[in-house]
């Protein structure tokens, strides 16, 4: 078999997030397949936010790679952390209100656990941390945001690419990491695989 006859590995995105698909498209990368990973995302006892996000990113990539040997698997997980406290995805309005009240007037971290598995089966991981400072939120602002339903299923109860952008006083680090996929690090890892 000549080099030109070798099959080119496909890029498989191990995520159901439309935001990750949009972010990849922003830098001209279009996955060949989108295969959400079905894993348990429950934090372990006393697990730190950085350990959780790295474990979940790696587990998502590994789960999908098992069915797609020889392809490139891209996975990422996002966690919002206030100190050692993990703010998961808000599933109810009460979750979102509790998260936004906690984040009001404070600085928090958005952690991205990025994992890429190459065609040779080797895994490459990056932990990306972005610091975000929220202004002090008034009750009416929180009420209006809850009414928008934009918070649903979002880590930390907010989407920076939407109405919550007005809550952010300062960002130190990757904006795309907050949205759901650190693009600089993703591009570097994929470039390293050719």
* Catalytic one of 22, 32, 40, 77: 77
Beta strands in the chain (DSSP E): 11-13, 33-34, 72-82, 85-87, 107-117, 123-134, 168-172
User: Is residue 77 annotated as part of the catalytic site, yes or no?
Assistant: yes
Torsion angle of C-alpha atoms 171, 172, 177, 178, degrees rounded to 10: -30
**Contact in structure between 183 and 23 (CB atoms under 8 Å):** yes
Give every CB contact of residue 13 below 8 A, 6+ residues apart in sequence. 20, 21, 24, 31, 33, 34, 35, 74, 75
- The CA–CA distances, whole Å, from 126 to 52, 55, 178 equal 13, 11, 15
The number of residues in the chain equals 194
**Contact in structure between 25 and 180 (CB atoms under 8 Å):** no
Q: Which residues are identified as catalytic?
A: 77
């Amino acid at each position: 078999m000549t080099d030109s006859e070798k099959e080119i590995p496909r890029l498989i995105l191990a995520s159901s997030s439309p935001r990750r698909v949009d972010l990849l498209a922003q830098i001209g990368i279009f996955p060949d397949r989108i295969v959400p990973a079905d894993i348990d995302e429950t934090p372990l006892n006393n697990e730190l936010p950085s350990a959780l996000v790295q474990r979940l990113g790696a587990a998502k990539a590994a789960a999908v790679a098992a069915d797609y040997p020889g392809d490139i698997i891209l996975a990422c997980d996002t966690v919002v952390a206030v100190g050692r406290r993990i703010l998961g995805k808000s599933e109810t309005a009460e979750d979102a209100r509790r998260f936004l009240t906690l984040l009001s007037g404070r600085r928090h971290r958005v952690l991205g656990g990025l994992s890429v598995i190459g065609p040779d089966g080797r895994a490459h991981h990056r932990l990306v941390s972005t610091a975000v400072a929220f202004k002090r939120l008034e009750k009416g602002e929180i009420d209006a945001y809850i009414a928008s339903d934009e918070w649903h299923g979002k880590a930390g109860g907010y989407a920076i690419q939407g109405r919550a952008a007005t809550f952010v006083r300062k960002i130190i680090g990757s904006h795309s990491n907050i949205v759901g996929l650190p693009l600089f690090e993703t591009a570097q890892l994929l470039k390293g695989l050719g």
